[in-house]
Amino acid sequence: MKTKRSIRQKIILYILSVFVVFFVASVAYIVVTSRKTILDETIEKTRFIAKNSATDIEKFFESNLGIARTLSQAFSVYQTLPVDQWQKLFLEMYLPVIKANEHIYIIWDSWEHSGYIPNYTKEYGRTMLFVLRDGDKFEKNKEERSQNGDSDRYGGFKKGNRVDIWEPYLDVVQDGKREAKLMTTIASPVQINGKFMGMVGIDLELTALQELVAGVETVEGGYAFLVSPEGVIAGHPNSELISKNIDEVFQAEIKEHKLHDRIRKGDEFNFSRIDDKGKSHYMFFSPITVNGVINSWSLGISVPYSQIMRSANHTLNISLIVGVLALTVVILLLIFISNSLTKPIVSVTSTLKRMAHGEISSKMKFTVNSGDEIEEMAEALNRSIEGLNSKTEFALDIGKGKLDSEIDLLSEQDILGKSLIDMRDSLKVAKDEEVKRKEEDRKRTWANEGLAKFADILRRNNDKVQILSDEIVSNLVKYLKANQAGLFLLEEEDRDDVHFMLISAYAWDRKKFMNKRIEFNEGLVGACAMEKETIQLTEIPDDYVEITSGLGKATPSYIVLVPLKHEEDVLGVIEIASFRAFEQFEVEFTERVAQSIASTILSVRINAKTRALLEQSQQQAEEMLAQEEEMRQNMEELQATQEEMSRKAQDQKLKENELSKEFEEKIEILKQEIKELKKKK
């Protein structure tokens, strides 16, 4: 005889039977695989911790190497300064650095004698400057080193001529008062045209590295340690092992796993080992690779297998407890579901009656999880309630002016929903057009006020180029809310030396006095002038200011260069730097202002030339008047001389006439006498 059971009994019997079978199978699977799973997870977690911690130590090394590299690059100008001056200056520069970095024990440098002592021909011999931390005090000193040859460590670094992190060593800066310290040095060479001229070193006590290693959070029972490229332990929870080589600690594993080679190469590797007490450990090594340093350090993590298995057993017990609780919850849930199966039809009928009377509310929704037609009917009813309710809320939001409200259509045939969306879109378009109009009005007002402001500046300062340029640059930076600006004017009076001169600059809310010359075809300023077009840059190279900008050492994120054009002639370039990109209307405003600036500067220059020519003509007129007066006096003297000479000539002529008459009379007398003599004969 077939046994009759209620739906409630069938649900409990069938579903509970399946769940029990699944539960038993799951427990069996957990027992078999949990240990392996937990082991794999712990190993992966250890690997993750090792890589992250190694990255932190890399950052620590790179940060200090960055300090050393920056100082060595900056100090490459030492040959341009007097010896006493740069030695004193460099010591003063070390002091704030060591004060700001408590982990630094010594900052020092070394300078080859051949690099600054004239006629020094030896390949060794150097001067060492250093600042040493002594508690809360700092000692500055200078020593002469390598007088008879370079030490192996320094000589090797000198030969390599590249950045390096030295192997741990006992410091040599001793004066009998301080205890020798075990440390490492982060070093960067000072190069002149690629040739080694000296170095900058940062000495770190191994206690600083020990603090980094101690901060590595491994799983319970595990520990981390730090190894140098040559295998020296630089950090370890057991202080007795610090400064020892891994040859002494991992005697059995050195050859088997080639630890030295793999650490130096920067390999990531792992292996299992048994310590002196017979306990198994999982070892993981993660490389510490620093940019520019050839050999790698390594961060090792040791995790005992006993701790890993204890975690696995703990996880297994937790899984069993959770499974039992889940079984209990399922039984209670099944009882609840079976009791609720008869309620959905009553709920659906009640809801339909309320909707027939025009009532719409999200509270009318109800949930049915029967998995049959009743559930589908309940879901359809809920969607209808939800759709009508959302349309009601949507209409209310539109009435309140919330045009960003959204509504989900029930289907492609949801005519009411589409009509409401069309109404919202029409209102949104009208509102967007209003907002756009206001924004355009705001931009137009801003530009007009700016043009009026600069027109007034140009009007008030139209007699001197320098004052005009200072006013333009400072006010343009403030009005555009930029950070820096410079005004370059074209100097072309000497046709053989056409160039741009930075006549005014303004940076960080203060005037910046510079003397900057840029050739006509040099850098972005020259390109802007030649192309006669605005240039905008949003990706600025780190070395931009050293190549073309000339606005100081700050690296902006946006630069715009605008030519100062009058008709087709370029009078100069204005360069503006900012940490935000300008909008198009701001660029257009700057171009319009640049045109006004060009016209005013041209007018100022023309006026200046006119004044100069007027002064020159006045001076020439005065000189001509003086010369005319002098010529008049000379003419009067010349005329007097001519009159005197004429008078003397007339007197001379009279005398000559008298003499001539007298001579003729004597000739006549003589002739008469001759005649008389002839007659007498």
Give domain limits for the chain: 7-61+309-337, 64-171+179-305, 342-460, 463-611
User: Whole-angstrom Cα distance, residue 565 to residue 597?
Assistant: 9
User: Whole-angstrom Cα distance, residue 666 to residue 442?
Assistant: 122
What is this structure's pTM? 0.45
Query: Tokens in use for 153?
Result: 């460590």
Dump pLDDT digits (tens) for 613-626.
787 778 877 778 87
Q: What is the mean pLDDT of the chain?
A: 80
Sorted by sequence, the CB contacts under 8 Å of residue 634 that are 6+ apart come out as none
Does 64-171+179-305 match 463-611 in CATH topology?
yes
Strand (E) or helix (H) holding 537: strand 535-537
Give the rounded distance of the alpha carbon of 379 from its chain centre: 56
> Using CA atoms in the order 21, 25, 28, 33, what is the torsion angle rounded to 10 degrees?
-160
Three-state SS letters, 38-76: HHHHHHHHHHHHHHHHHHHHHHHHHHHHHHHHHHHHHHH
Dump pLDDT digits (tens) for 261-301.
888 888 988 888 887 787 888 888 999 998 888 889 999 98
Which pLDDT score, from 0 to 100, does residue 253 have?
83
Q: Which of 173-177, 231-235, 259-263, 437-441 has the lowest mean pLDDT?
A: 173-177
| Confidence check: pLDDT of 585 > 60 | yes
| Confidence check: pLDDT of 513 > 60 | no
Strand (E) or helix (H) holding 490: strand 484-491
Q: Which residue type does 492 have?
A: E
Which pLDDT score, from 0 to 100, does residue 547 have?
33
Map residue 125 onto helix, strand or coil.
coil
Confidence of residue 187 (pLDDT cuts 50, 70, 90): very high
DSSP 185-231: EEEEEEEETTEEEEEEEEEEEHHHHHHHHHT---STT-EEEEE-TTS
Map residue 366 onto helix, strand or coil.
coil
Mean pLDDT of 24-30: 70
Q: What is the CA radius of gyration of the chain?
A: 50
Which pLDDT score, from 0 to 100, does residue 549 have?
47
Dump pLDDT digits (tens) for 217-272.
887 778 899 999 998 988 888 888 888 888 888 888 888 888 888 888 889 888 88
The CATH homologous superfamily for domain 463-611 is GAF domain (3.30.450.40)
Map residue 142 onto helix, strand or coil.
strand
Which pLDDT score, from 0 to 100, does residue 110 have?
93
The CATH homologous superfamily for domain 64-171+179-305 is PAS domain (3.30.450.20)
**CA–CA distance from 407 to each of 390, 413, 572, 651 (Å)?**
7, 14, 57, 133
Query: Tokens in use for 568?
Result: 């087709």
Dump pLDDT digits (tens) for 101-160.
888 889 999 999 988 888 898 889 999 999 998 888 899 999 999 899 998 889 988 999
Q: Which residue type does 327 have?
A: L
Which pLDDT score, from 0 to 100, does residue 552 have?
52
Mean pLDDT of 194-209: 88
Which pLDDT score, from 0 to 100, does residue 618 have?
81
| Confidence check: pLDDT of 572 > 70 | yes
Mean pLDDT of 422-427: 70
Helix, strand, coil tally for the chain in percent (to 5): 55, 20, 25
| Confidence check: pLDDT of 1 > 50 | no
Which pLDDT score, from 0 to 100, does residue 548 have?
40
Mean pLDDT of 501-515: 68
Strands (DSSP E) contained in 229-379 are 233-235, 269-274, 280-288, 297-304
User: Could you tell me where the DSSP H helices lie in 75-186?
Assistant: 83-100, 152-160
Which pLDDT score, from 0 to 100, does residue 483 have?
85
| Confidence check: pLDDT of 199 > 90 | yes
